Amino acid sequence: MNITVVCDVLGEANNGTTIAALNLIRAMKERGHTVRVVCPDQNRKDLDGFYIVPTRNFGPLINRYLKKNGVSIARPDPKIISEAIEGADVVHFMTPFSLSRKAIKLAKKKNIPLTAGFHCQAENFTSHLFLKDSKIINRLFYHTVWGIAYHNCTRIHYPTQFIRDTFEHTIRSETPGVVISNGVNKAFHPVEVEPDPKYDGKIVIQFTGRLSKEKTHKVLIDAVALSKYRDRIQLVFAGIGPLHDKLEKRGQKLPNPPEFHFFSREDLVRQLNRAYLYVHPAEIEIEAIACLEAIACGLIPVIANSPRSATRYFALDERNLFHNKDAKDLAKRIDYWIEHPEEKKALAERYKGFVEQHEYEHCMDRMAEMLSDAVKEHQHE
């Protein structure tokens, strides 16, 4: 197939949407398909198959805010988009914003079928407007993106059943959805690693994710402060984001201040294999591949039981959950698993089968099948 992938945002692999896009592009090429990519990332302008559109200039203040969040907003160029989708069998967009909306209009004129990924939970957008807890605004977001983008699609890829149910319940409509995990790369697995001397005598607790409000890192920092083992615990946050300075300041109250790193894949695998426990305190989450990667490396998770997070469904035991935004309850969970290493080991064995269903190559085979089915259905119609 000739596949055009439209990415309103595509920069460094430091957020779930970009990682999902890069994985899809790579996987479809590996399966013999021709892939063109439309995006605003100027760093990719010399790469084969990439069609780069300009970025919007919102002025110094907003530009600084966007840069701090690692985001560039595309300015749609119809000529570039038309060139990228010419001759395509299917056009797949990752998010329902201005670049994708222009691509939708042009693809419909050319009678090219459309598919999409649902990678933007309402709160991921409304948090930037300081309105993530407004039910009315979040509902409006879902109704808007259905009306301007997703209703045009032959297939919609949902990473979890949770986000499909949330979206369909809100818009009160069934969609042509397919639930497929974004997949865990086979690089994430248990490996023997050399102990790091700086962690001698310490209990390493890991969290991977952007340093942003919805990930709720502060609850984890506060929980460690309440733990009986706070003198021995070393928090490691793998990720970058706009809250780095605030979280670093908050962490200074701990006997061992948190470490902040952006790891390569190889280094992250080693780091996860050094850790004792993985904690995922995020209040808002579509899937959290980062949590699955930790599980694949042999860790058990402790997850926020948030009604706005799909990650809570990764819990195989009630002891994998803590009350959402409750540092005291999280501290109890952390202390329990520190005091019961044999039970932790037994639960890690149970998790081995769980992670297999999220195996990356299998998920990418299903994505290719979804795109092919969309093309065939469009041709039939």
Tell me the residue range of the domain where 141 lies: 2-183+359-380
Residues 261 and 140 in one domain: no
Q: What CA–CA distance (Å, rounded) separates 299 from 350? A: 11
pLDDT number for residue 12 = 72
Q: What CA–CA distance (Å, rounded) separates 374 from 331? A: 48
pLDDT number for residue 63 = 65
Q: Is 188 among the domain residues?
A: no
Give the 3-state secondary structure of 36-88: EEEECCHHHCCCCCEEECCECCCCHHHHHHHHHCCCCCECCCHHHHHHHHCCC
Q: Where does the pLDDT of residue 261 fall: very low under 50, low under 70, confident under 90, or very high at 90 and above?
A: very high
Residues 131 and 24 in one domain: yes
Q: Is 89 among the domain residues?
A: yes
Select from 26, 357, 11, 302 the least CA-distant residue to 183.
Answer: 357
Residues 158 and 217 in one domain: no
Residues 48 and 178 in one domain: yes
The per-residue pLDDT for range 167-202, each reduced to its tens digit, is: 999 999 999 999 999 999 999 999 999 888 999 999
Residues 344 and 364 in one domain: no
Select from 219, 210, 285 the least CA-distant residue to 242.
Answer: 210
pLDDT number for residue 59 = 75
CATH code (residue 160): 3.40.50.2000
pLDDT number for residue 354 = 87
Report how many domains make up the chain.
Answer: 2
Q: Is 262 among the domain residues?
A: yes
Select from 13, 34, 32 the least CA-distant residue to 22.
Answer: 13
Q: From the CB of residue 266, how many other CB atoms can be counted at a distance below 10 Å?
A: 9
Region 95-118: mean pLDDT is 96
Half-sphere exposure of 78 (CA within 13 A, CB side): 3
Q: From the CB of residue 239, how many other CB atoms can be counted at a distance below 10 Å?
A: 21
Q: Return phi, psi of residue 304, to 5°.
A: -65, 130
What is the CA 326 to chain-centroid distance, rounded? 23
Q: Is 339 among the domain residues?
A: yes
pLDDT number for residue 62 = 66
Q: Is 190 among the domain residues?
A: no
Residues 152 and 214 in one domain: no
pLDDT at 352 over 90: no
Contact of 150 with 170, CB cutoff 8 Å: no
Per-position DSSP letters for 223-266, written without gaps between them: HHHHSTTTTTEEEEEE---TTHHHHHHHGGGSSSPPEEE---HH
Q: Is 189 among the domain residues?
A: no
The per-residue pLDDT for range 113-148, each reduced to its tens digit, is: 999 999 999 998 888 788 888 999 999 999 999 999
Q: 98: phi > 0 → left, psi -120 to 50 → alpha, else beta; which?
A: alpha
The per-residue pLDDT for range 215-246, each reduced to its tens digit, is: 999 999 999 999 999 999 999 999 988 899 99
Residues 220 and 131 in one domain: no
Residues 350 and 366 in one domain: no
Residue with tokens 């803590």: 322
CA distances to 22, 265, 315 from 189, rounded to whole Å, are 21, 12, 19
Residues 177 and 219 in one domain: no
CA angle 85, 70, 150 (to 5 degrees): 40
pLDDT number for residue 243 = 92
Name, in order, each residue with C-beta under 8 angstroms of 29's C-beta and a sequence gap of 6 or more: 35
Residues 352 and 206 in one domain: yes
Q: Is 191 among the domain residues?
A: no
pLDDT at 71 over 90: no
Contact of 108 with 152, CB cutoff 8 Å: yes
Q: Return phi, psi of residue 7, to 5°.
A: -125, 105
Residues 223 and 248 in one domain: yes
What is the CA 12 to chain-centroid distance, rounded? 13
pLDDT at 70 over 70: no
Q: Is 52 among the domain residues?
A: yes
Residues 28 and 87 in one domain: yes
